[in-house]
Each structure stands twice: as C-alpha cells, then as structure tokens.
Amino acid sequence: MARPRHAAFDKVKTVAENRRARFDYAIEDTYEAGIALTGTEVKALRFGEGSITESYAEVNNEEVWLINSNIPEFSHGNRFNHEPKRPRKLLLNMREITKLHGAVARQGMTLVPLSVYFNSRGRAKVELALAKGRNAPDKRAHIKERDWKKEQGRLLKDRG
C-alpha cells in the first residue's frame, strides 16, 4: 500500500521561488519532483543561488525536463563547472509522468515550477505545478477576490 502524501511538502531551505506563477496561472495540482544535478550545481544551490522565474517543464520521451532554469556557475568549480541554463531532468514516478503528459497534451495545461528547495534529508527538490494560464480578465477577478478575502479577515477581526 502506498504511503499517504502530505498536504504540504517538507521544505527546509527554499532556494528559489517563482512568486509570479501563482498570479499568472490557475494552479490545479502540485507535485514534488527530484532534480538530477551535478556536484557544482548542488553547491551553487546550497549557497542560495539559482532562479526559476522564466522556467517551465516539458515531457519528452517519458521523461520530464526543467527548461530555462538558471543555476549560475559555482565560484570554486574551475574546469568541473556546469552550464548555467542547461535542461535538467526531473525525477518523477512513471504514473505521475503519464498523468502530466495527458494533461499537457489533451487539456492544454502547462508545467510550471513553483519553487526549488532542500528537504529534511538534504535532497534538492522542485515543486512542480500543473497549471492553466490566466488571461487579463481572470487576473483582475483573482485580484478582486484576494482583496475581498483580506477585507473579510479585517472585518471579522474587528468584530471580535
């Protein structure tokens, strides 16, 4: 029997976060994926360097790849340094990969990385979201709804 999944992922140290993605996309589902990195990439991430602001993921040949993520070269890496914007393989179960591939192919959804972090075991992980893009009216409605929820909280707090 499979272990039950936690509602929130075990994030010990967040390295990079894509805060704009939650505004630009309506997030349907999130997945925790491992990421295949070289030694100097891990060292650069441990120093807090890295960016996923304009990155996305795609499914190719039953593998998921993180495209356009930037992990700058490690300062002490000399000849063993890595390429900063190379595609990086994401590690997911085959069942999750087929589900993601079906959603992207049939429903026109997008795979967006939300954050890169280290878990409690020291492994680098990517929080990957299956999302649908929002257009301008949807964004305005989202802002309106978010502001109304803040105002509701203030009103309830004032009333006691």
Q: Where are the domains of the chain?
A: 13-134
Q: Which residues of the chain have pLDDT under 50?
A: none
Instruction: Quote the pLDDT of residue 108.
Output: 82
Q: Which residue has the tokens 């070269």?
A: 73
Q: What is the pTM of this model?
A: 0.80
Instruction: Quote the pLDDT of residue 32.
Output: 94
> In the CATH scheme, what is the homologous superfamily, with its name and number, of domain 13-134?
Small protein B (2.40.280.10)
CA dihedral 87→53→132→9, nearest 10 degrees, is 80
Instruction: Quote the pLDDT of residue 134.
Output: 82
Distances (CA, A) of 119 to 15, 29, 107: 11, 20, 31
